[in-house]
Amino acid sequence: MIQDPAQAWVVRYAAIQAGSTVLDACAAPGGKTVALARTARLVVAADKRRNRIPRLRQNLKRAGGGTVVLLVADGEAAAVSQVDCVLIDAPCSGTGTFARHPDARHRLKAGDIDRLAASQAAILEGTYPAVRPGGLLVYSTCSLEPEENEHLVDRFLASHTDFKREPPDGIPDDMLSPVGDLVILPQRHSMDGAYAARLRRDAG
């Protein structure tokens, strides 16, 4: 699948251990699902929009490998439980892609960022219980807006003290924020903008 390099960096940043069970909670159209399935034992690829499942299935058939189960499920409720990793590639404003899609900026309206941030927070709240003790929660967007990214993650961590940031090794320093989140900027890295936070749940 042809994707902007930023999407591959998000998967690399997630650093999913080989043999893991993974919930890709907002999976369609499936680019990250394809990448995750190369090393995971099982990927549950979920999306709440039933009309996007055929495209997801087609992309997996054409470009995928590994074991993937497709599921129609709302990201605001955990579709499975006790998985090694949950990836939430949240629906967002897409401001990181504006250089490549300049027309998209005209579709963004006042209030959209706050509305999207509320939806993203609801997905985080609904899906994090699927992470087993000691497992990973990876949250990502293709947005540059702090309301959709680090501010949201900071609030989540403040109310869920059993999760801590755990950035992986091997990521260039200029792609990491001071707290270790992945921050890709188009003007600096010559690719789409992207954000990701990698959170480890206490083993209990």
126 closest CA partner among 48, 28, 43, 67:
48
pLDDT at 59: 87
- Residue 201: strand pairing partners: 163
- Residue 140: strand pairing partners: 89, 196
d(CA 130, CA 112): 28
pLDDT at 2: 67
d(CA 112, CA 91): 12
C-alpha 97, offset from chain centre? 16
Q: Which residues are catalytic?
A: 142
Number of domains, the chain: 1
pLDDT at 108: 82
Segments of the chain with pLDDT less than 70: 1-2
pLDDT at 107: 81
Contact 50, 75 (CB under 8 A): no
pLDDT at 99: 78
CATH of the domain at 184: 3.40.50.150
Q: String of b and e for 47-66 (b: at least 16 CB within 10 Å)?
A: bbeeebbeebbebbeeebeb
Q: String of b and e for 11-38 (b: at least 16 CB within 10 Å)?
A: bbbbbbeeebbbbbbbbbbbbbbbbbbe
Element housing 139 (H / E): strand 131-141
Range of the domain at 192: 5-201
